[in-house]
Structure 1
Amino acid sequence: MKGLVVALQFLTRLPTPRIAVSSDEFAASMRWFPAAGAIVGLIVAGGGWLGGRTDPWIGALIALLLWTGVTGALHLDGLADIADASGAAHKDRERLLAVLADPHVGSFGAVAVALQLLAKLVLLHAAIDQGQVAAIACIPFAARIGPLVWSRWLPPLHEGLGARFRGAVRPIDLALWAAALLVAAWFFPTFLVVLLFFALWGWWILRRIGGISGDGHGAGIEIGETLLLLALTASGSTA
């Protein structure tokens, strides 16, 4: 359970016991990312359910506030950086990497974050209105399987978090979380769309940027969550 605590400390703002870990132990905490996502999902779904008893829009707003607050907007920062870097891609690779490393948020990044928050709000409203709160709880879990896949598959972009995580994810970790995803998909079949997304996002990152980094992981998690919400609500509207 030490790995789960470390994963929660890294991925969330939730209060956790302070523990000292080595560099290897910190890297190994990535194996627990989906479990940390499940905890985030329970909090988000709980807020959405509570607010949705008054009105779906109130539920969606509470859920979104909790989603952003619990994670500390960590993944939104990655989305902004990837969007800014992609906007500079028409220059050259050196320019792209320079923009990716710049801590400031540019116009592409600001627009990407605004659209992401708007999309989540609208889709959360639709999911709550359709009574799919239980599925909302599983979405952060499913999206956080992606970093395990990308760490095993893609080369690290530079010496950083991506490089530290690469050797920490074992085949058994992927197998166990894939099995858990299949269990979730038994109840919510549209979740299987995330497997295609993992492949497409990894291919795009490799082709456009050349390797995975913390920003690539964060942006992938954010886009994966929105895609899962979209697939969920689309299936509910046609049911």
Structure 2
Amino acid sequence: MSLRGLILAVQFLTRLPTPQVKDFRDDDLSRAAVYNPLVGAIIGALLAMPLFLVADRPWLAGVLTLLLWVWVTGALHLDGLGDVADAFGAAHRDPQRFLEVLKDPRMGVFGVVTLVMQLLLKFVLLTELAASPLWSGIVLVPAWARWGTLWWSQRLPSLHGAGMAERFSWQLGPRAMWLWALLLAAVSAFAAWPLLLALLLVPLVAAWWRRKLGGVSGDCLGASIEVTESLLLLSLVLLGNL
């Protein structure tokens, strides 16, 4: 672990200002991936601010948090979700056709509709979360979702051979993944117990990708992050009053 790796992880996953890193190497992205959950927690801490500051106005808290979420991540994972939705919509269960459509930079109706529904879902869930006793769990939601990238990259092959998913797994060992799981689980058990669902949800996402495509791409990782975040928000909202 190094400061260089943390800076690269922040640069890749967010729009937050960071010092410039010189002499970027191909394996840097994989080495930096170990910081993904920490970067997720940083994102979550930023998202907690509007939920706390305007909690008495849930709709305003929800929309401000969503706007901040989209900005701080640069819509990186939303882009992956839209691309994957387009590919599934046009593939007609043909894996080769899926990969062809996935490479097309244009956004089709399947992607647009999926993004609208995803943003609407997150807005509603954030509005509900603003009034929930477990609102502070928002800090851990992006952290768990980005922990998922470590699991998916190690458990699934890359669809593109040398694509983003493959680059994540080059230098990544299981030790860091399990240490992050233990840390996030301990904090979640204390602060927001419904998020322990992530320990089941992340492997289920991996199993779904394996059955559907046999592997993942960078877009698949982004889509998985978005879906995982929404499901974890849903768990906080539905189980927060139990």
Listed as ranges, the gaps of 5+ residues in structure 1 are none
1:202 aligns with 2:206: yes
SS at match of 1:144: helix
Q: Distance in 1 between matches of 2:127 and 2:239?
A: 15
Find the partner of 1:175 among 175, 178, 199.
178
CA RMSD in angstroms, aligned pairs only? 1.3
Give SS of 2:91's match: coil
**Residue 43 of structure 1 pairs with residue 14 of structure 2:** no
Percent identical among aligned pairs is 44
**Secondary structure at 2:27 match in 1:** helix
Paired AA for residue 81 in structure 1? D
Cα pair 1:60 1:122 within 8 Å, conserved:
yes
Pair 1:32 & 2:50 matched? no
Matching residue's letter, 1:118: L
Map residues 74-223 of structure 1 onto 2, 5 A cutoff.
74-90=76-92, 92-158=94-160, 159-187=162-190, 188-223=192-227
Counterparts of 1:146 and 1:210 in 2: how far apart (Å)?
17
Q: Gaps spanning 5+ residues in structure 2: where?
A: none
- 1-structure distance, mates of 2:120, 2:204: 23
Paired residue secondary structure (2:203): helix
Indicate the residue corresponding to 2:26 in structure 1.
23
TM superposition shift of 1:22: 1.7
Work out whether residues 125 and 237 of structure 2, in 8 Å CA contact, stay in contact via their aligned partners in 1: yes
1:131 Cα deviation (Å)?
A: 3.6
The one of 206, 211, 236 equivalent to 1:232 is 236
Structure 1 stretches of 4+ moved >6 Å: none
What TM-score, normalized by structure 2, do the two folds share? 0.94
Check conservation: 1:75, 1:218, Cα contact below 8 A: yes
Q: What TM-score do the two structures reach when normalised by structure 1?
A: 0.95
Partner of 2:66: 64
Task: Tell me by how many angstroms 1:91 deviates.
Answer: 5.3
Amino acid of the structure 2 residue aligned with 1:119: L
- For residues 153-185 of structure 1, give each alpha carbon's deviation from its aligned partner in whole angstroms, at most 9, with x where no partner exists: 101111211111112221111121111121122
Contact 1:156 1:166 in 2 (8 A): no
